[in-house]
Amino acid sequence: MRRKAFNLYSTHLKARFDGRVHKISIDAGFGCPNREDGRAGHGCLFCAPSGSGSVGIERNEIIAVQVENSKALMRRKYRAKWFIAYFQPFSNTFAPVDVLRDRYDQALAVEDVVGLAVGTRPDCLSPQIVDLLAEYDQRSYFWLELGLQSIHDETLNYLQRGHDYQCFLDSYYQAKERGLRVCVHLILGLPGETRDEVMATADEMARLKVDGVKLHLLHVLEGTPLGDLYKQGQVPMLEMQEYVELVVDFIERLPPETLIQRLTGDGPRSILLAPLWSMNKWEILNAIDAELERRGTSQGEQYLSV
Per-chain mean pLDDT for the chain: 93
To the nearest whole percent, how much of the chain has pLDDT over 90? 86
pLDDT band (50, 70, 90) for residue 293: very high
Q: Output the pTM of the full model.
A: 0.94
In a domain, 2, yes or no: no
Residue 56 has pLDDT above 60, yes or no: no
Q: Is residue 4 part of a domain?
A: no
Report whether pLDDT(281) > 60: yes
For the cut 70, the answer to whether the pLDDT of residue 41 exceeds it is no
- What local confidence, expressed as pLDDT, does residue 91 receive? 95
Q: Is a pLDDT exceeding 70 seen at residue 57?
A: no
Mean pLDDT, rounded, for 196-221:
97
Rounded distance, CA 71 to CA 244, Å? 32
**pLDDT above 60 (res 222):** yes
Q: What is the pLDDT of residue 61?
A: 78
In a domain, 3, yes or no: no
CATH code (residue 32): 3.20.20.70
Band the pLDDT of 1: cuts 50, 70, 90: very low
Residue 267 pLDDT greater than 90, yes or no: no
Structural domain contains residue 244 = yes
Say what the pLDDT of residue 59 is.
Answer: 64
Whether the per-residue pLDDT at 39 is higher than 70: the answer is no
Q: Indicate whether 306 belongs to any domain.
A: no
Range(s) of the domain holding residue 199: 9-301
pLDDT at position 3, please? Answer: 63
Average pLDDT over residues 236-252: 97
Residue 4: the pLDDT is: 80
Pick the most confident of 28-42, 60-74, 202-216: 202-216
Q: In one letter, which amino acid is 24?
A: I
Question: Would you say residue 127 lies in a domain?
Answer: yes
Q: In what order do the strands lie in the sheet with 21-26?
A: 21-26, 82-87, 113-120, 141-149, 181-188, 212-217, 259-262
Tally of domains in the chain: 1
In SS3 terms, the chain reads as CCCCCCCEHHHHHHHHHCCCEEEEEECCCCCCHHHHCCCCCCCCCCCCCCCCCCCCCCCCCCHHHHHHHHHHHHHHHHCCCEEEEEECCCCCCCCCHHHHHHHHHHHHCCCCEEEEEEEECHHHCCHHHHHHHHHHHHHCEEEEEEEEECCCHHHHHHCCCCCCHHHHHHHHHHHHHCCCEEEEEEEECCCCCCHHHHHHHHHHHHHHCCCEEEEEECCEECCCHHHHHHHCCCCCCCCHHHHHHHHHHHHHCCCCCCEEEECCCCCCCCCEEECHHHHCHHHHHHHHHHHHHHHCCCCCCCHHHC
